[in-house]
């Protein structure tokens, strides 16, 4: 099962509770700007982080995040089931990044990336240790092929189920599982000092 | 079940897939190496779950709203442009056209089109000889 991140992710479980409320999606569909903004606030983090992992470019990720929501709201009347909103949003983001980045998403992560630096609210050696570990994890994920990185990001970071990812990528669930297994094995090798018993 | 069969199943096991679950668990109970491998993969999942999340830049919503407004403002203009194009097409189809002249050939073409304008000019001099007529 995908691990749903809470504190670090800004509350993916809270996102799921508020960001998929059918009445809010219905209001957004009718053009209610306030409802559209609330949905945006719920999903901007997951969508931006997914695009950032796939595009490896912060500016492009920000631009594609905006375009994802513009397209989503323009075509929202076509969405038949409110419950499918999250997967549909990721589908739009996936299509956009696929068209714009097309196979170029293998650039190594910038080691000075502030997202992997120490927590400014923390202190001491423990903070540095955690920051170093986070940087290693970030680099290991960034070094995966785009296909493997995408399933890892969608499953482990965004908490999408295997079947949802399969529908999104238009592949069989078995293909998603096999990509997850290969990605896990590569990450396990790259992160060996952190995951093996000493 | 031996280790070679068990290892490829560990990732699916973490996903909760039930395929040969009992057999795999029996193997894990007696195999330290495979149990350690499963623990390592589980820690990979834990590290991914704790990975940091980048905060999106501020001002993204304003950009979304601006693009939505821009497109909704553009839509009425597009509707008017479409209506104008349709009206122009309809007018072009229904507008009465002049009757095309009957088809004429060779010197008759000259007679009909050029002679009235040029009279006895250059072509007027040449055409009779072309027809084999005496000047």
Give how far A58 is from chain B: nearest CA, Å: 9
Q: Is the dihedral of CA A68, B64, A159, A87 positive or negative?
A: negative
Q: Tell me if A182 sits within 8 A of B16, measured CB to CB.
A: no
From chain B, the residues in CB contact with A58 under 8 A are 54, 57
Give the largest Cα separation in chain B, rounded.
123
Report the candidate in A180, A173, A174 with the shortest Cα–Cα distance to residue A154. A180
A159, closest residue in chain B (CA to CA): B49
- Which long-range CB contacts under 8 A does B16-22 form with residues at least 24 apart? B16/A1, B17/A177
Given this model, what pLDDT does residue B73 score? Answer: 66
Higher local confidence (pLDDT), B64 or A83:
B64
Query: Could you tell me which residues come within 8 angstroms of residue A12 by beta carbon, excluding any fewer than 6 positions away?
Result: A4, A5, A6, A46, A158, A159
Given this model, what pLDDT does residue B110 score? Answer: 43
Given this model, what pLDDT does residue B30 score? Answer: 92
From chain B, the residues in CB contact with A141 under 8 A are 48, 51
For residue B104, give the 3-state DSSP assignment.
Answer: coil
| Report field, pTM of the whole predicted structure over 0.80 | no
What are the start-end ranges of the E strands in chain B?
none
pLDDT above 90 as % of chain B:
34
User: Residue B16: is its pLDDT beyond 80?
Assistant: yes
Report the candidate in A82, A101, A113, A103 with the shortest Cα–Cα distance to residue A146. A103
User: Which stretches of chain A score pLDDT less than 50?
Assistant: 1-14, 104-112, 114-118, 120
Query: Could you tell me which residues come within 8 angstroms of residue A141 by beta carbon, excluding any fewer than 6 positions away?
Result: A53, A109, A149, A152, A153, A187, B48, B51
Given this model, what pLDDT does residue A37 score? Answer: 92
**Contact with chain B for residue A126, Cβ under 8 A:** no
Burial category of A2 from C-beta neighbours within 10 Å (exposed 0-12, middle 13-18, buried 19 and up): buried
Q: Is the dihedral of CA A5, A40, A29, A59 positive or negative?
A: negative
Give how far A148 is from chain B: nearest CA, Å: 14
What are the start-end ranges of the E strands in chain A?
none
- Mind listing the pLDDT tens digit for each residue in B94-103? 877 766 555 4
User: Residue B131: is its pLDDT beyond 90?
Assistant: no
- A5 DSSP 8-state letter: P
Given this model, what pLDDT does residue A197 score? Answer: 74
Question: What distance in Å separates the CA atoms of residue A172 and residue A160, rounded to the nearest whole number?
Answer: 15
Given this model, what pLDDT does residue B57 score? Answer: 93
Given this model, what pLDDT does residue A59 score? Answer: 93
CB–CB contact B12 A197 (8 Å): no
Question: What distance in Å separates the CA atoms of residue B37 and residue A152, rounded to the nearest whole number?
Answer: 19
- Mind listing the pLDDT tens digit for each residue in B45-59? 999 988 878 899 999
B65, closest residue in chain A (CA to CA): A70
Given this model, what pLDDT does residue A187 score? Answer: 94
The mean per-residue pLDDT over the stretch B101-107 comes to: 48
User: Residue B23: is its pLDDT beyond 50?
Assistant: yes
pLDDT band at B69 (very low <50, low <70, confident <90, very high): confident
Report the candidate in A113, A105, A108, A11 with the shortest Cα–Cα distance to residue A50. A105
């Amino acid at each position: 099962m995908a691990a749903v991140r809470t504190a670090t992710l800004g509350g993916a479980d809270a996102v799921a509770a508020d960001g998929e409320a059918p009445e809010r999606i219905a209001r957004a569909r009718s053009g209610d700007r306030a409802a559209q903004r609330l949905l945006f606030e719920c999903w901007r983090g997951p969508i931006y982080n997914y695009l950032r992992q796939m595009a490896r470019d912060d500016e492009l990720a920000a631009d594609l995040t905006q375009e994802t929501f513009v397209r989503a709201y323009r075509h929202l009347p076509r969405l038949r089931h409110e419950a499918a909103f999250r997967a549909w949003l990721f589908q739009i983001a996936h299509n956009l990044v696929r068209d714009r980045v097309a196979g170029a998403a293998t650039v190594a992560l910038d080691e000075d990336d502030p997202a992997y630096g120490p927590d400014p609210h923390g202190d001491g050696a423990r903070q540095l240790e955690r920051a170093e570990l986070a940087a290693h994890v970030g680099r290991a994920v960034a070094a995966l092929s785009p296909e493997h990185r995408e399933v890892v990001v969608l499953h482990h970071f965004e908490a999408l189920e295997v079947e949802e990812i399969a529908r999104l990528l238009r592949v069989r669930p078995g293909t998603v599982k096999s990509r997850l297994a290969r990605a896990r094995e590569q990450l396990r090798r790259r992160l060996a000092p952190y995951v093996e018993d000493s | 079940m031996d280790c070679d069969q068990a290892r490829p199943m560990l990732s699916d096991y973490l996903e909760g897939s039930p395929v040969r679950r009992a057999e795999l668990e029996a193997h894990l109970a007696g195999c330290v190496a495979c149990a350690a491998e499963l623990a390592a993969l589980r820690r990979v999942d834990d590290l991914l779950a704790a990975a940091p999340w980048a905060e999106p830049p501020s001002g993204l919503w304003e950009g979304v709203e601006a693009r939505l407004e821009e497109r909704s403002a553009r839509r009425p203009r597009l509707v008017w442009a479409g209506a104008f194009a349709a009206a122009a097409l309809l007018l072009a189809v229904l507008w009465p056209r002049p009757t095309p002249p009957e088809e004429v050939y060779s010197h008759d073409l000259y007679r009909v089109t050029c002679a009235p304008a040029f009279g006895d000019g250059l072509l007027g001099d040449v055409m009779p000889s072309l027809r084999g007529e005496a000047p």
